[in-house]
Each structure stands twice: as C-alpha cells, then as structure tokens.
Chain A
Amino acid sequence: MNTMKWLIKREMWEHKGMLLWTPVVVASLVAILAITSIFLGKNASFADAQQAFSIGTITIEGKARMVMVDTIAHGYIMAAAPVLALLSLLVFFYCLGALHDERRDRSLLFWKSLPVSDTATVTSKAILALVVAPLITMLVAIALALVILVAGCVLLLSHGTNLFGGLLLDPALYLSPLRLLTLLPVYIIWALPTVGWLLMVSSMARSKVFLWAVGTPVITSLLLMWADRILQLGLDGGWFTAHITNRILLGVVPGSWMGFEMDNVLQHVRNEHLAPFESIYYASWHTLTSPSAWIGAAAGLAMLAIAIRMRQRREEV
C-alpha cells in the first residue's frame, strides 16, 4: 500500500505539468474570457427548454428569478465543460506515454532495479489515468464553474438582480459539484477499455505509439467497411467501429457513455421525466445496467494484464 502511494506520487512528479497545470491554465483562460465577455456587456444568456433570459437589459424578479436561480444552480457546472473536455486529451496522451517513455529514455532500468512489481507499477499508472487525473480536472472544473457563477451573479447584481441569496439557499448549488464528482465511477467503467488499450499499446510499441494506438483500430474499421461495401462479405464494419474502435479510443471522453448508450439514455430520460441536469446524472448511472459497459471494462482489465506481462518482458527500446 505504501509502495502504491509512492508510485502515484512518482507519476505526479513526472506529469504535474500535464495533469495539474494544463487544466489550471485552461481554466484560467476560460475564466478570463468568460469574465471579460460578461463585463464587456456581451449578452450572455442562460437558456433552458422553455425560456431564454438575456441578462444586462432587465431586472428579473419573482417567479422568473426563481426559475433562473434553479436553472443556474443545477447547470452552472456546465460552464466548465471546456476543462472537462480537456480531460480526454490529458488521459489519452498520459496513457500513450506511460509505459513507452520509460523504455525510450531507459529509466525503466532504474525503476526495475527497485523492489517494485510490474503489477504495482502498471496499476499505479492506471489509477492515475482513471482516478487521479479525472479528480484533479473535476476539482479545477468546479472551481472554474464557481468563479464564472460568481462573476455572472455580480454582473446581474449590478443590474439590480440579486441571485446570491436564492442560489445559496438552493441545495442544487451544492449538489451539482457532488454529482459531478460522484460520476467518477461511471467514468472509470467507461474509460477502462480505452485506458487498457492505450497502456497496452504503450507497453508494446517500439516507436510511433500514437500511430499504433489510433491507426490500428481506425484502419481496421475502414478495411472492414470497405470489404463490406466492395466484397459483400457481410462483415459489419459499422458494428466494429461502434463497439471496438470508438470504445477503445473515445472512452476517456467524459460523457462518452451518452454516445455509446444513446438508446439506453434516451429511454431512461423518457421514462423518468426528471429535470434536465438530474436526468443526465441518473441516465449516466443507468448506462451501467448495460452489459456492454461491463464487457468493455473486463476487456480493459484484460488489456491491463497484458500490459503488465509486456512490462515484465520488454526491454528498453
């Protein structure tokens, strides 16, 4: 357990710039942009299905204000979407390098001269990709969302609309970040196939890790589709793309499950009639009822096991 703690610290030392500072910098840029646009008087608008509010022109009171407070309290986290989207890139490139760079710079020999098993090392890298990196990004995203929220509310206040009281009393204000954080298990299950695949390729490829990781599934998809179209072999290229290629490349995108399990999600939304943001939350969890989520996760674990085997055998490149 102690070893695992140090392995994870080690990964953070190496990748602090990428995993911590990149989201912080991007979040700061988004915050600056948002705040500038808010205070330069651009009409930022908050919209839900029924109504759209254009701020800066009118003072909002009464029921309209309550609806607005509620919508903002539920949805303000979405302001940090750019940072969350960034997470996919971070995890993707972290995994690609994780088991390859150490072979390229030969530091593998140093790490292997210590009494640390390959299983522990590969596990620490998977934990970093699946838990630590998403947590960091989520926390940065929440901070960003709060900053934008406060800035927006200050602007409204200057126009006479005070949302602070309403917002602070709205439980959704506090629930929204918690909801985001508690989606982590869903993310882990759906990201496992991609993380497993990338770490496996990273442990195998002698060079051009990116080409191997992306090229192999994409070219296979294209070949299958071509063979299906031209040779009429009855191979289902579309199925392969949806269930293999996309799952092993796009699983690290937060919310990927909405795409993979579109039917499941839509059905859940139709049946439950929840408010939009609650609906997203519960529908996300509901995607875990699909066997394909677990088949993918199992495949991800299997690929991680292969990565461990490869690290035991592979020498430096």
Chain B
Amino acid sequence: MSAIITARGLRKQYGKRSAIDNLNFSIEAGRIVGLIGPNGSGKTTTLKAILGLTSFEGELSVLGMDPRQQRDALMNDICFIADVAILPKWLKVKQALDFVAGVHPRFDRSKAEKYLVQTKLDPEMKVKAMSKGMVVQLHLALVMAIDARLLVLDEPTLGLDILYRKQFYQHLLEDYFDENKTILITTHQIEEVEHILSDLMFIRDGKIELSATMDEVSERYTEVMVEAASLAAAQALQPLHQRAVFGKTIMLFDGVPREQLANLGELRTPALADLFVATMKGSYA
C-alpha cells in the first residue's frame, strides 16, 4: 500500500517559536489517523501544511503532489472540515449545494441531498440561522458527497453537543469511509475517536512523540491494577505513569510483556486518554 502523505523534515517557524519542528511521518491509504496533541503542539499547523494553507520548510508529499505548488489540483482529491463555523453566514443550504456542484468535479449532489433530508435543514435556510450542530451537518453533507481520497478533519466536533458528535462519527464511518479513503483527524476529544482510529500520532511541541497503529498500541502498552502486595515489584519495572483510583494503583507500562505483568494484578488495555496523559507528562509544567 502506498503512502498518501509523506513528510520529511517538516518545519514551520512563527517568529522565533517553531510550531512544528522536523516532523517525519507517513500515512498509508485506507487508514483513519488521529493526530493528537495538547493546545499549541502543532496539530493545526501540520494540517494546514498538508492542505497547502501555509508555507513550510522541508519535504511534504500529499497524494504525490506538493501542497505549496499544486494546491488547486490537490483540492480535487482532498476534503477539509475545520472546527465549526467556517461556512459564511450569508450562505443558504441551496446555494452551498449549487456552488460546490458547480466547482467540484467529484461532487454527487444527490448524495448530499439524501443526507440533508435526514436533518432539519431546509434549502432556503441560511448559515446565520443555524445552530453549530446544523452547520456541521451541512458541511458534512457537502463533504460526504465528494468522492475525495483524503479527508482532513480539524476539531470537527468542537462545541457540539453529544448527539451531534455521535452522529457525526457514525455517518462518517457508515456512509463515507471505505478502503480507498483516508481520514486524518485532530481532536481533543480522544474518547470519541478512540474506537474509530486505525492509527495514532501523538504530537508535542512540534515533534511526533508516538506514531503507531492501534494494534501496536494495544500490544505495546498495558495497564495494570496493581495489588498492594506487588507495588514494589511493579515499580521495579519502571511504569510510564501511575495513578490512584479508589485506593488502587494503576500503572501504565510500555513494552513490558503481558506474561510478566500478569501476576502483578488485573491487566487491561489502556484508554487512549490515559496513554495521552502519560505520554504528555510535563507538557504544561
């Protein structure tokens, strides 16, 4: 399988501060990749570089093209939803459909309309009059009707209530995603995307801290509810992170075989959120 995105030595400075610093990664086709990091870690800058919305140094190839030089052609194959409310206020639902159908060669209008029927949006409604959730529904309807190879989502569900959020990812998985498509998501709401991701990238201070498939993650990391008697033995294995819950100590181990951990206590696969906290330790210190 060929790589959809390859970055080598990707770098971007804002004044003296570097937003991303020597990023190297590649994303294969047919994956759902979560790019996860704290505020200001360089997530959005990375996405902008991929979308040709910002200048950068280093090498970046997206669908075999350079986003700096070939953005217009690239946009035939990429879709993009930034955090809510980038649709202009004056736009009507009908106009949005007309316009995208007019300029996008891969837009399937009937598909978008089919999706919109399930919502409360009507063709004459203006973005101004919509709730945040409805704006995202409209945007999602537009994007899902475009047969693109790469979908980039930047905090797509920010500020939405739980119903809209669930619905958003559900539609994405059921009606949009297939093996020819690749989805790249940044979000703070890790719990929400945890179950749909196939790959994971943790980014901190403009550097990739962890890049792995979800299978690798569950193989590599183990959480143990350590029995009080085994605390010392567990400490000796150098846990990545430990926390106390209801009087029990939960430790997170990186690369320690499960057989070895089994007699320390109950084992489980860590939630991404916990893994994230462990990995980002000291980010705000």
Contact among A3, A14, A113, A315 with B88 in the assembled complex (CB-CB below 8 Å): A14
Min CB distance A262 to B, Å, is: 42
Taking A105-B89, A107-B88 as contacts, is the C-beta distance between A113 and B102 under 8 angstroms? no
Q: How far is the CA of A7 from the CA of B100 in the complex (A)?
A: 10
Which of A7, A10, A115 gathers the greatest number of chain B CB atoms within 10 Å? A115
Q: What residues of chain B lie closer than 8 Å to A13, measured between beta carbons?
A: 90-92, 95
Residues of A97-141 at the interface with B, using a CB-CB cut-off of 8 Å, are 102, 105-110, 112-118
Using a Cβ–Cβ cut-off of 8 Å, how many residues does chain B contribute to the interface with A? 32
Q: What residues of chain A lie closer than 8 Å to B90, measured between beta carbons?
A: 13-14
A-B contact count (CB 8 A): 72
Q: How far is the CA of A236 from the CA of B22 in the complex (A)?
A: 52
Does any Cβ of A come within 8 Å of B163's Cβ? no
Does any Cβ of A come within 8 Å of B103's Cβ? yes
Q: How far is the CA of A110 from the CA of B86 in the complex (A)?
A: 6
Q: What residues of chain A lie closer than 8 Å to B139, measured between beta carbons?
A: 110
B85 with A115: CB separation less than 8 A: no
Does any Cβ of B come within 8 Å of A226's Cβ? no
Contact among A6, A102, A106 with B102 in the assembled complex (CB-CB below 8 Å): A6
Q: How far is the CA of A116 from the CA of B105 in the complex (A)?
A: 11
Q: What residues of chain B lie closer than 8 Å to A3, measured between beta carbons?
A: 102-103
Does any Cβ of B come within 8 Å of A208's Cβ? no
Using CB atoms, name the residue of chain A closest to B54.
Answer: A315
Using CB atoms, name the residue of chain B closest to A15.
Answer: B90
User: Interface digits, B50-63 against A, CB 8 Å rule (1 contact, 0 not)?
Assistant: 01011100000000
Q: How far is the CA of A14 from the CA of B80 in the complex (A)?
A: 22
A114 with B55: CB separation less than 8 A: no
25 A-B pairs in the complex with CB atoms less than 8 angstroms apart: A3-B103, A6-B102, A9-B102, A10-B95, A13-B90, A13-B91, A13-B92, A13-B95, A14-B90, A102-B88, A105-B86, A105-B89, A106-B82, A107-B88, A108-B86, A110-B86, A110-B87, A113-B78, A113-B80, A114-B104, A115-B72, A115-B103, A116-B103, A312-B71, A315-B53
The 3 A-B residue pairs with the shortest CB-CB distance, nearest first, are A6-B102, A107-B88, A113-B80
Taking beta carbons and an 8 Å cutoff, which residues of B are in contact with A? Answer: 48, 51, 53-55, 71-73, 75-76, 78-82, 85-92, 95, 98-100, 102-105, 139
